[in-house]
Amino acid sequence: MSAYLERLNWIEAQALLTQECVVLIPLGAAAKEHGPHLPLDNDRTLAECLARRIAENTEVIVAPTITYHYYPAFVEYPGSTTLRLETARDLVVDVVASLAAFGPRRFYLLNTGVSTVAALEPAARELAARGVALRYSDIVAAGSEAADAIAEQEGGTHADEIETSMMLHLAPNSVNMGKAVKDFHTGSGRLTRYAAGGGVFSPSGVYGDATLATAEKGRVVVDAIVQRILAEIKELRAASLTNANTR
C-alpha cells in the first residue's frame, strides 16, 4: 500500500523508508503562467493528480511536492517564478539525500516540466555518485504518441490543446474554457509577451491552441503517461543501484 510521507509521524516514516522502497517525488510549479484559462499552480495540480494515479497502481512513498524549480522561459509573465539552474539542481539533491539518509536508494521524480530536465540531469549524476538512483519523467515524451494521434492543433507545447485537455480530465474546475485562446507563433527560445522581444511571441502565454481541448483527449494522454511512468518505476525497482538508469 502506498503512503504519503507528509501524513505520517516520524516513527511511521522510519518503518516505511527502507532500502527496498521507491520514493515518488512530484515536481510541479505552483507559480508559473499557463495562459488566461489556467491558474499559476497548474503544474502542481497536474503533478499531484498524476502522483495519486501512480500511488493507486503501485506501492510508493509519495514525498511532498516540489513547487519551485527551473522555469526560465516564463519570467516575463507576472506571477511566474524560476530558480537558477544550480539552485534547482541542489534543491533536488538535498531533498533526495535527506530522505536517502534514512534508507531509501531509489527515487522517482514525477517531473511535469520541460526546462527542469536541464537541472535534473546533473542532480541524478551527483546522486548516482553517492549510490542513490534518481529517475525522472519526460512528460512530453511519455504522452507524445497518444498526443500525436489525437491533436488537431498545428503545433504547441504549453497551455495548449494537449495540456488543457489533461487538466479538463484531471481537474476540470481549474480550467476556464471561456478564456482559452489559440496563440501559436513559430520561433525558438523563451516565451515573450512582446512582438520584438526575442524568442517565441505569445501575448497570452499560450503556445498552441487551447480552444481545441476536450476531457476525452486528456484522458487518452493521461492514461498513456501513467502507464509510461508505471513502467519506468517498475524498471527502477528491479534495477541494481549500479545499473539504474537516470532517465
What digits encode the pLDDT tens for the residues 52-83? 999 999 999 999 999 999 999 999 999 999 99
CATH superfamily of 3-238: Creatininase (3.40.50.10310)
Average pLDDT estimate for 211-218: 98
What kind and span of H or E run contains 11? Answer: helix 10-16
Longest CA–CA span in the chain (Å) reads 57
Say if CB 51 and CB 226 are below 8 A apart: no
Q: How far apart are CA 186 and CA 200, in angstroms?
A: 7
The per-residue pLDDT for 147 is 97
Question: Burial letters for 120-129: b for 16+ Cβ neighbours within 10 Å, e otherwise?
Answer: bebbbebbbe
Model confidence pLDDT, tens digit, residues 116-151: 999 999 999 999 999 999 999 999 999 999 999 999
- Domain borders along the chain are 3-238
Q: What phi and psi, each to the nearest 5 degrees, are found at residue 36?
A: -80, -10
Grid coordinates belonging to 171: 481537474
Q: State the pLDDT confidence band at 195, using cuts at 50, 70 and 90.
A: confident
Residue 244 has pLDDT above 60, yes or no: no
What would the mean pLDDT of 187-192 be, rounded to a whole number? 88
The answer, yes or no, to whether residue 171 has pLDDT greater than 80, is: yes
**Rg of the Cα atoms in the chain:** 18
Summary mean pLDDT of the chain: 95
pLDDT of residue 186: 82
Burial class (CB in 10 A: 0-12, 13-18, 19+), 108: buried
Reduced to 3 states (helix: H, G, I; strand: E, B; else coil), residue 242 is coil
Residue 246 has pLDDT above 60, yes or no: no
Q: What is the mean pLDDT of residues 36-50?
A: 98
What are the backbone dihedrals phi and psi of residue 32, each rounded to the nearest 5 degrees, phi first?
A: -155, 130
Residue 174 CA to residue 30 CA, distance in Å, equals: 13
Q: What per-residue confidence (pLDDT) applies to 245?
A: 41
Please say if the pLDDT value at position 197 is more than 90. Answer: no
Q: What is the mean pLDDT of residues 177-184?
A: 97
Contacts (Cβ under 8 Å, ≥6 apart) of 52 = none
Compute the distance between CA of residue 162 and CA of residue 148 in angstroms, rounded to an integer.
Answer: 9
Q: Which residue has the higher pLDDT, 198 or 103?
A: 103
Work out the pLDDT band at 8, boundaries 50, 70, 90: very high
What is the model's pLDDT at position 189?
A: 85
Closest CA to 132 of 21, 54, 210, 214: 21
- Report pTM: 0.95
How large is the average pLDDT for residues 15-25? 97
How far apart, in whole angstroms, are the C-alpha atoms of residue 51 and residue 31?
19
Cell of 35: 495562459
Please, what is the end-to-end C-alpha distance for the chain in angstroms? Answer: 25
Segment holding 222, helix H or strand E: helix 215-238
SS3 assignment, position 97: helix
DSSP 148: H
Paired strand residues for 25: 109
* Cα 237 from chain centroid (whole Å): 20
